[in-house]
Amino acid sequence: MANVTFVQPDGRAQSVEIEEGFSVMQAANNNDIPGIAGECGGCVSCATCKVEVDAAWIARIPASTELETSLIEDEDANVRLSCQIMMTPELDGLVVHVPASQYR
């Protein structure tokens, strides 16, 4: 098991456990984390699962694929699709921020 912390736009933080091999989006959905819909179930077609990876962690996240990049309109390089971040032991303690834009 690995731990990931979701920080909401108002600063509230919630830490949840996730099995390795599952995505950060699945961790959010399984724990009713608001602001991460994950409408396509991880098929890289909805972009309703965006997170801003905490600056302390971004270098440890594998590079995004062309498909993922095509779905992310944000200029911020720390913004990723949480369905494409698979948990590994190295990511235990990961911190991601839920974008306020996903509450529209």
Which residue lies nearer to ligand FES by CB, 35 or 38?
38
Beta pairing, strands 13-18 & 2-7: antiparallel
Closest of 102, 104, 92 to residue 5, by C-alpha? 92
Q: Binding ligand FES by CB under 6 A: which of 2, 28, 51, 83?
A: 83
What six digits make up the tokens of 100? 């306020």
Cβ atoms 2, 70 nearer than 8 A:
no
Shortest spacing between CB 79 and ligand FES, in angstroms: 12
Interaction of residue 46 with ligand FES, rule CB under 6 A = yes
Shortest spacing between CB 67 and ligand FES, in angstroms: 9
Q: Which residue is nearest to ligand FES (CB)?
A: 83
Closest of 9, 12, 13, 21 to residue 91, by C-alpha? 21
Interaction of residue 40 with ligand FES, rule CB under 6 A = yes
Shortest spacing between CB 55 and ligand FES, in angstroms: 22
Closest of 80, 78, 54 to residue 67, by C-alpha? 80
- Which residues sit at the interface with ligand FES, rule CB under 6 A? 25, 38-40, 42, 44-49, 81, 83
